[in-house]
Amino acid sequence: MLAPEVILADPETIAKYEVVIGLEVHVQLKTATKIFSPSSHEFGNDPNTQTDPVVLGLPGALPVLNRAAVEQGIRASLAINCKINRKSVFARKNYFYPDLPKGYQISQFDEPLAEHGWVDIELEDGTAKRIGVTRLHLEEDAGKNTHDGYRDSDQYSYVDLNRAGAPLAEIVSEPDMRSSDEAFAYLTAIKQLVQFSGASDCDMEKGQLRCDVNVSVRPKGQQEFGTRAEVKNVNSFRFAKAAIEYEIARQVAIVEDGGKIVQETRLFNNTTGETTSMRSKEEAHDYRYFPEPDLPPLIVDDKWLGEIRDSMPELPPAKRQRFIDEYGVSEYDARVLIASKETSDYFETAAKLSGDPKMVANWVQGELTGALNTAEKSVAESPISAEGLAELLKLLADGTLSSKLAKDVFGKMFASGKPAAEIIESEGLKQISDTGELEKIIDGIIAANPGQVETYRGGKTGILAFFVGQVMKATRGQANPKAVNELLVKKLAG
């Protein structure tokens, strides 16, 4: 049966409506072991090699809370300006699904770890806005189901529990966002803050950051919220933006047509860019939360909280300001350099070693970013270390390399992973500043081009560029341009 055709509203109609967006972000906390048991939750290992009685839901197994998971949850909470509750309580969320052998997920419900936070977002046009964070609570991740790819996938789903029990922080926003751009900026801000706090690497390719999107629309001026739809399975920020835009157009068209929005969960299809209803769920969600009897309430006293607060790394807003003050980079550069923790660490290491932070800022944003993008690598995977870049830039600063040569050497360093000095040595790429050597070359060129020499001496000094070109050609671009110019002018004067 063909699905009924979905009608999407046009931008003009959409403009008559206000969009209300709230986001739930799940962040996997950086710990060695699971939240309630001592096996690993490392990504990418053979299926079901990271289980234990708690993860498997074996009879009699009891959860024991991982102190490090709590600390990471608190770091994430502090990064997004949440107030930490002295007492929080774990609760059972009951549902049956194969990725959850116990038949319930241990989460937090009416007494979460942290509440009342906010993050400031900035849109591309420079508008700033504060988005409220309702709460951050701790919970365990579920396993991974695979529905296709096996010979008998038409009959069976495959279940890997390596991820089951991984520590998660769920961050719930207030319904404060009014456009897909704001949602995108919010996600970017959350990722950046949590990453810098050290609570999570937020590597989306490893599923360490996932988000669910709540969208509703209402005619402009209307007070009460419209009925919302929740979109799941959104695994990139770009997809979140696309899912929101699709939902807006779909919901506005329904309301315009006099219809009613159904409160439901929808799935985003990242190939078609559409959301579809998960009709499979007939029963309404009824999780029958109740306090987890196997775990005592979590108490975070002032002493513990104080220790964690004192150990908090520098967060992006403070770092941005410090980069401007300490390294003299521009506001814009500082913002780009703190986009990720890796980039900011890389910049700072290279800036300190090279002694020329502005030059480092330019190279990191220019050559390095370009090369990494082409190679589809992250800063952490860069073949050129921060130390290596500093070394290269020192050679540029002291005149050993011209800027053209430095770029060549950079390319070779990136391709081979070898240090600058080694490449310069083996390829003989040093800039020639030795005037004796240059003089010999220049004399030869002047002797070989008597016509041009005459032209120059006749007053058409623009032809100097021709001679510079010849010298560069003869030295394979290694001549120091400043020295060449000076010598040429002197020699041609006769």
Partner 1 sequence: MKITEKEVRNIAELAHLNLSDEEIVAYQANLEEILSYVDKLNELPTDDIEPMAQVLFEGAEQEGLRDDVLETSIPVDKALSNAPLSGAGQFKVPRVLER
Choose one: 12-20, 62-70, 193-201, 419-427; the region binding partner 1 (CB under 8 A): 62-70
Record the tokens describing residue 384, joined without a space. 């050129």
Instruction: Determine which residue in the list 7, 32, 123, 375 makes contact with partner 1, applying CB under 8 A.
Output: 32
Q: Is 490 among the residues that bind partner 1 (CB under 8 A)?
A: no
Q: Is 197 among the residues that bind partner 1 (CB under 8 A)?
A: no
Of 258, 251, 190, nearest to 225 by C-alpha is 251
Inter-residue contact 444 to 470 (CB < 8 Å) = no
Q: Which residues contact 106 (CB under 8 A, 6 or more apart)?
A: 35, 36, 63, 90, 91, 92, 93, 139, 140, 292, 295
**Least distance in angstroms from the C-beta of 291 to partner 1:** 4
Q: Is 227 among the residues that bind partner 1 (CB under 8 A)?
A: no
**Least distance in angstroms from the C-beta of 87 to partner 1:** 9
Instruction: Determine which residue in the list 235, 236, 304, 449 makes contact with partner 1, applying CB under 8 A.
Output: 304
Q: Is 59 among the residues that bind partner 1 (CB under 8 A)?
A: no
Q: Is 96 among the residues that bind partner 1 (CB under 8 A)?
A: yes
Inter-residue contact 410 to 367 (CB < 8 Å) = yes
Residue burial 402-426, b: 16+ Cβ < 10 Å; e: rest: beebbbbbbebbbeeebbbeebbee
Nearer to partner 1, 297 or 313 (CB): 297
Instruction: Determine which residue in the list 11, 124, 128, 155 makes contact with partner 1, applying CB under 8 A.
Output: 155
**Least distance in angstroms from the C-beta of 275 to partner 1:** 13
Choose one: 16-24, 147-155, 205-213, 461-469; the region binding partner 1 (CB under 8 A): 147-155
Choose one: 63-71, 243-251, 393-401, 472-480; the region binding partner 1 (CB under 8 A): 63-71
- Sign of the Cα torsion 8, 12, 17, 22 reads positive
Residues 370-429 close enough to bind partner 1 by CB under 8 A = none
Inter-residue contact 39 to 165 (CB < 8 Å) = yes
Residues 257-296 close enough to bind partner 1 by CB under 8 A = 267, 278, 280-281, 283, 286, 288, 291-293, 295-296
- Count other C-beta atoms under 10 Å from residue 49's C-beta: 12
Q: Is 223 among the residues that bind partner 1 (CB under 8 A)?
A: no
Q: H/E/C letters for each residue in 286-338?
A: CCCCEECCCCCCEECCHHHHHHHHHCCCCCHHHHHHHHHHHHCCCHHHHHHHC
Q: Which residues contact 164 (CB under 8 A, 6 or more apart)?
A: 34, 51, 55, 99, 100, 101, 140, 141, 142, 143
Instruction: Determine which residue in the list 8, 16, 26, 40 makes contact with partner 1, applying CB under 8 A.
Output: 40
Nearer to partner 1, 8 or 295 (CB): 295
Contact set with partner 1 (CB under 8 A): 31-33, 38-40, 46-53, 56, 64-70, 89-90, 94, 96-98, 111, 145-147, 150, 152-161, 233, 267, 278, 280-281, 283, 286, 288, 291-293, 295-297, 299, 301, 304
